[in-house]
Structure 1
């Protein structure tokens, strides 16, 4: 990270554009140099990508302004994670996610339907590590709504690979993508009768599944 900071100052200069190829060429011996460069942002360095500046191409970045002198002892310590959100920030995250747990789909204050007594959901903002599309070595933590149960069971560092997900979307037929687009717009989907039946069937013990299969055979005779 320190070497990347000094390279930006000496070879790029504030306000100038550089490419990922130039960065990797400058540091052929450093694995994941893109990530080391990204770490500078936690120390106040501003490095824009095409997501921040529409004039940049995907492979370009702009060194906007320098931050802390990370090469000075004591300056390069990793900053504390911004784990404490204000009430306003937390409310915005829950509002943006329609007050739904983005892991299991339960709403705020709803009861879990698992037959294990009455337990009402409690929603909070959780971290989710995201591998950015088109940025094979870059990731960031984004905030998402998650219920207490999912947060406890799944851990805080579950990772999402957006490129891999988008590849799955591309395998859908045009009709399936249009349907998926409608689900995105509504931020929900309804299950068809056969999907509901299948979901219940999958939870049955082996003996009951066999009984269902035999009953359907009789219905079809």
Structure 2
């Protein structure tokens, strides 16, 4: 089936943008905001219409998802639903996130990455790279067997690393049921505090793991 021409004036902005990405850019290729706006000088809010494609399974990365990109660069990573086909643009496969939703999620998740705990603008350990927090979509396999997309706050690094991961809630709940009473109490305390405390020995173990081999030998010798 031949694709419509992205230049067709009868097309809406989102459909035209999708076709432009397919026909002019290509999956895996870079483009800039200037190129996008230059291609659609008469389409209002073309940036927003491009972002709308993410709700239909299109993956278009910015420097939030890919640190190698410049502030005005995008990478067309994956094509989603063919929104130019009749009826396809009304069946969204993602979750639309408003500014109010984003603020509510930030407050709910404590303004920290749920995966690594870093706060907004904090430097990653051993680097001068500052974190950027945003809403991430996480596929969750429910006890019913269905898979649902749920939202959480993650930093750009964790969003990239966890993009293909599906959380198995049914399996986790099953493991919780198998815990001993004291283990359930301990887990419950961590969940209530939304943090796990570490003992002095556990902190030393974590530090030991970061040492070079020569220094690890010194620690082993001292323990003997």
Both structures adopt the same fold (TM-score exceeding 0.5): yes
Q: Which consecutive residues of structure 2, in runs of 5 or more, have no partner in the other structure?
A: 1-84
| Match status 1:184 vs 2:191 | yes
Find the counterpart in structure 2 of residue 211 from structure 1: 218
| Deviation at residue 79 of structure 1 after TM alignment | 2.3
C-alpha distance in 2, partners of 1:187/1:128?
19
Q: Which of the pair has more CA radius of gyration? A: 1
Moved over 6 A (4+): none
**Residues 62-211 of structure 1 aligned to structure 2 (within 5 Å):** 74-75=86-87, 79-82=91-94, 84-113=96-125, 115-116=126-127, 118-133=128-143, 135-136=144-145, 138-152=146-160, 154-211=161-218
| Deviation at residue 150 of structure 1 after TM alignment | 1.4
Q: Which consecutive residues of structure 1, in runs of 5 or more, have no partner in the other structure?
A: 1-72
Contact 2:94/2:149 (CA < 8 Å) preserved in 1? Answer: no
C-alpha distance in 1, partners of 2:90/2:213?
52
Find the counterpart in structure 1 of residue 44 from structure 2: none
Contact 1:126/1:151 (CA < 8 Å) preserved in 2? Answer: yes
The alignment yields a C-alpha RMSD, in angstroms, of 2.4
Find the counterpart in structure 2 of residue 10 from structure 1: none
Change (3 A) 1:202 1:78: farther
| Deviation at residue 207 of structure 1 after TM alignment | 3.1
Query: Which TM-score applies when normalising by structure 1?
Result: 0.57
C-alpha distance in 1, partners of 2:165/2:205?
28
Deviations 1:48-106 (A, max 9, x none): xxxxxxxxxxxxxxxxxxxxxxxxx9446782344552111001111111112111111
Change (3 A) 1:170 1:205: farther
Contact 1:127/1:157 (CA < 8 Å) preserved in 2? Answer: no
Deviations 1:123-159 (A, max 9, x none): 10000000002x23x101100110012123x142321
C-alpha distance in 2, partners of 1:167/1:155?
22
C-alpha distance in 1, partners of 2:91/2:162?
22
Change (3 A) 1:83 1:132: closer
| Deviation at residue 120 of structure 1 after TM alignment | 2.2
State the aligned residue count.
Answer: 141
